[in-house]
Amino acid sequence: MRYRVLGGTGLEVSSYCLGTMMFGSVGNAEHDECVRIIHAALDEGINFIDTADMYSAGESETIVGKVLKDRRDDVILATKVHFPMGEGPNRGGNSRRWIVREVEDSLRRLGTDWIDLYQVHRPDHTTDIEETLSALTDLVHQGKIRAFGCSTFPAEQIVEAYHVADRRGLQRFRTEQPPYSLLARGIEKHVLPVAQRLGMGVLTWSPLGSGFLTGRYRKGQALDLSSGRPTLNPARFDPSAPRTVAKLEVVEQLVAVAEEVGCSLPELAIAFPLAHPAVTSVIIGPRTMEQLRNTLKGTSVVLDDAVLDRIDEIVPPGTDVYPPDGVWAPPSLTTPSLRRRPADSRAAS
């Protein structure tokens, strides 16, 4: 296992980060098995665990906590805050009120006194970024978190947060956690260069393209929608959808590249983000012990320039074969009223 320093924190983390989104009712509901998977990952040299309060409504954090009670000093622990946790208008978001409340719940579920990396899971257009950074800075001073970062923020908001922190004397985002895969390279345009310039660590998610880079879904073959990711969102795997067709076309070309390299498609997919100089660690999200073991077989795979050039020919740098699942969309695009003048105003003009 290779290790890299996470941004400017001084923390050395494994190049593979164990993601735990699939631990709990959404994925693997067997707590004992999930605990065994985490222990096995730690035994193989992974020292970086990423979870979130909203994964299976807190269940994932509870599972991770069962491991931490014996191995807390072995783990660089990351979790997140933002998404709603229960009913009510103020039980989510990036406000001071919610952050200082929810960090206590995460600490309780995780069974620890501190979180190494506390991440803001998505932007919140209703909250001033200074409010968020101020609350997080206070948590660092209180010793409840060691550093904080953001997840799936666009480049312009990362830059804005950096300058607000600088002007107000607040601590800044040390990391960014974006989606990045052979099928989704959009962050190469702005997010990764910005992270490099600001000295941020980057831990990327969805290296397997929501399952399309596992090798399980192939062109000309019936898609198995009975288990795994397709059960969470079947529409993403609709074989008649143009996006699905485009993904499968590219997958066939990438399978050929993997065969030339002498590795599996998943091994190629996970090695790809780690080839970028901005990337610190790639998040893997096994649901079973078998998936973990198969993933760890690729830790020694390193892609040379010839292979990366071949990949660039198939999926040009900075392009997305499809918009990554789960990314943040600005309200200016999702809320029509924000880009349309009132009807009476338009009529008057």
Give the confidence band of 219 by pLDDT, cuts at 50, 70, 90: confident
- Average pLDDT over the chain, rounded to an integer: 94
pLDDT confidence of residue 189:
97
pLDDT tens digit string along 11-57? 999 999 999 999 999 999 999 999 999 999 999 999 999 999 999 99
**How confident is the model at residue 237, as a pLDDT?**
82
Query: For position 342, what pLDDT does the model report?
Result: 83
Residues 63-79 have a mean pLDDT of: 96
- Ordered by where they begin, the domains of the chain are 3-336 (3.20.20.100)
Residue identified by tokens 């760890």 is 296
The residues annotated with a catalytic role in the active site are 55
For the stretch 230-250, pLDDT in tens is 766 777 888 888 999 999 999
Amino acid code (one letter) for 69? K
pLDDT at 231: 67
Task: At 246, list the tokens.
Answer: 């485009």
> Tens of pLDDT along 136-195?
999 999 999 999 999 999 999 999 999 999 999 999 999 999 999 999 999 999 999 999
In this predicted structure, the answer to whether residue 343 has a pLDDT above a threshold of 80 is: no
pLDDT at 67 over 80: yes
pLDDT in tens, 177-189: 999 999 999 999 9
Query: pLDDT tier at 217 (50, 70, 90 boundaries)?
Result: confident
Measured between alpha carbons, how far is residue 111 from residues 21, 81, 136 in Å?
Answer: 18, 17, 20
> Assign residue 204 a region: left if phi > 0, alpha if psi is -120 to 50, beta otherwise?
beta
**Two tokens, residue 88:** 């009510």
pLDDT at position 227? 67
Q: How many CB atoms lie within 10 A of CB 105?
A: 14
- How high is the pLDDT of residue 147? 98
Is residue 348 scored above 80 in pLDDT? no
Give the integer Cα–Cα distance in Å for 293 and 41.
9
Res 346 pLDDT > 70: no
Instruction: Please give the pLDDT value at position 285.
Output: 96
Predicted pLDDT at 222: 78
Give the helix ranges, DSSP H, for the chain: 31-43, 59-71, 96-110, 129-141, 155-168, 191-197, 229-232, 242-261, 265-274, 289-296, 305-314, 331-334, 343-348
pLDDT digits (tens, 9 = 90+) for 284-339: 999 999 999 999 999 999 999 999 999 999 999 999 999 888 888 888 888 998 88
